[in-house]
Structure 1
Amino acid sequence: MTRTILITGGSSGLGEGMAREFAARGNNLALCARRTGRLEELRDELLQKYPGLAVSVRALDVNDHDQVFEVFREFAAEFGSLDRIIVNAGIGKGQPLGTGNFIANKQTAETNFVAALAQMEAAMEIFREQNRGHLVAVSSVSAIRGMPKNITTYGATKAGLASLAEGLRVELARARSPIRVSTLYPGYIRTQINEKVKNAPFIVDAATGCKAMVKAIESGKAECFVPSWPWRPIGFLMRRLPVSALARLF
């Protein structure tokens, strides 16, 4: 059965990588991002490689919240339904608090949390109407605990996103709804967002990371660390280490 998957931030990085993986698995794609030129190039490439698929692209700035609802509804109308929506779009501009970089932290918070909330609202409207669907929130291992310096605000936004997803899981389980919600906690995956970061532990290339993300999403599990090794045991430890130990690590 061919499914239709909507991915935000689909023009580069993890979004682009997941799009390639899902296309290879025979899925139709609804891709949106600010940079339509790159989206169109990706669409043309995928259609040439997989001519039996449907790939639709639309411009979307996730900070334009009205546009989020509009674009999601247009995709749903175009395909008839949406089987999976992946809330992936995000930025990593965070800076240490109190160093005169409030604007960068504000932009990070608005894009990674408020805009993600808009995407989840729009997705759930569609899924509630369909009475089915799979919502995927791309969080981060930095969401597990409060992180220092440049990661403080970024990690907080990803923790908020993970909390939204968990709250939905509780609500939907209580209602015995067929709608599923998954949270991914990616470790360090080399993309444009972190290309200048040095000494990132256990970092993997984008292709490896995206394959692990798609495998985790397809598993349907509520929460997944990706790649599972070594981030699952690292996540287990991070949740339990005292602040003094975290301070020595970071």
Structure 2
Amino acid sequence: MRRNILITGASSGLGAEMARQFAAKGHHLALTARRVDRLEELRSEILAAHPDVEVVVHQLDVNDHDQVFAVTKQAAADLGGLDRVVVNAGLGKGVKIGTGGFAANAETAQTNFVAALAQCEAAMEHFYERKAGHLVVISSISAMRGLPSTVTTYAATKAGLAHLAEGIRLDLMGRKNLDIKVTTIYPGYIVSEMNDVVASEQKLMADTATGVRSIVKAIDKEVAEASVPGWPWVPLGQVLKRAPLGIVRKLV
């Protein structure tokens, strides 16, 4: 069992719900986010429901790369080692390319890819030292194709993150002396703080608890990749990969 789990971006949305569901399964948790007050509230909630688990919290801005490495090391020390790291922190900001929104797009690119790279580096350093561990990256179903308008940059960063994870997975192939796995999760439409504005209008949107339950199930299986929830996102993901661009534009 990968007992000790670090989750970034755990103050709300998918990260917070993953923390609740993993705690219910008996995992000890290290939770990080910028909003440490929310982390403390979540910690109190989890400990009230599951007093046998250990929960530590650390304030972390993932764009402070030195802090990413320092907090990862501290969380490992707090729990006596990390068995799984979930790279979840991310942004959904975006503006159509060429319309004056570079600052917002650059912030999304920095957070969703460069900061994720720092998290993967820190996690893998720890796992290589222990010769064991499970790296999980939260990509997006939007990573399947280039997408238009306000989601162009977001989709590109999530595709980059998926390729980063696959490259790490390739490094591990044939290394029989290592018990290290890499999982890429492609969530479909799941209610979170990032998308709550459009949640009421999106017919395919899963509620947070249901959507995260499918994420946790895939993570526990340690599959290489998973589109979640399986229905309808496994078939729709395949459509996105193969459909002509005109159809892709209508789908999104």
C-alpha distance in structure 1 between counterparts of 2:145 and 2:198, whole Å: 20
C-alpha distance in structure 2 between counterparts of 1:101 and 1:206, whole Å: 30
* Deviation for aligned residue 1:191: 1.0
Q: The residue matched to 2:136 in structure 1 has which SS? A: strand
Q: The residue matched to 1:85 in structure 2 has which SS? A: strand
C-alpha distance in structure 2 between counterparts of 1:40 and 1:175, whole Å: 39
* Deviation for aligned residue 1:121: 0.3
* Deviation for aligned residue 1:244: 2.7
Aligned residue type for 2:90: G
Q: How does 1:117-156 map to 2 (within 5 A)?
A: 117-156=117-156
* Deviation for aligned residue 1:146: 0.3
Aligned residue type for 1:190: V
Q: How does 1:178-189 map to 2 (within 5 A)?
A: 178-189=179-190
Q: The residue matched to 1:247 in structure 2 has which SS? A: helix
Query: Partner residue of 1:209?
Result: 211
Aligned residue type for 2:70: E
- Shift of the 248–210 alpha-carbon distance from structure 1 to 2, 3 Å rule, reads closer
2:93 paired with 1:101: no
Q: The residue matched to 1:86 in structure 2 has which SS? A: strand
* Deviation for aligned residue 1:57: 0.3
Aligned residue type for 2:221: S
* Deviation for aligned residue 1:236: 1.1
C-alpha distance in structure 2 between counterparts of 1:2 and 1:246, whole Å: 38
2:238 paired with 1:236: yes
Query: Partner residue of 1:57?
Result: 57
Structure 1-normalised TM-score? 0.97
Check conservation: 2:147, 2:249, Cα contact below 8 A: no
Q: How does 1:20-39 map to 2 (within 5 A)?
A: 20-39=20-39
Aligned residue type for 1:196: V
Query: Partner residue of 2:228?
Result: 226
* Deviation for aligned residue 1:32: 0.5
Report percent identity of matched pairs. Answer: 56
Structure 2-normalised TM-score? 0.96
* Deviation for aligned residue 1:2: 7.2
Check conservation: 2:28, 2:79, Cα contact below 8 A: no
Check conservation: 1:2, 1:26, Cα contact below 8 A: no
Aligned residue type for 2:182: V
Two-structure CA RMSD over aligned residues (Å):
1.2
* Deviation for aligned residue 1:78: 1.5
Check conservation: 2:2, 2:83, Cα contact below 8 A: no
- Structure 1: runs of 5 or more not aligned: none
C-alpha distance in structure 2 between counterparts of 1:86 and 1:248, whole Å: 32
* Deviation for aligned residue 1:45: 1.2
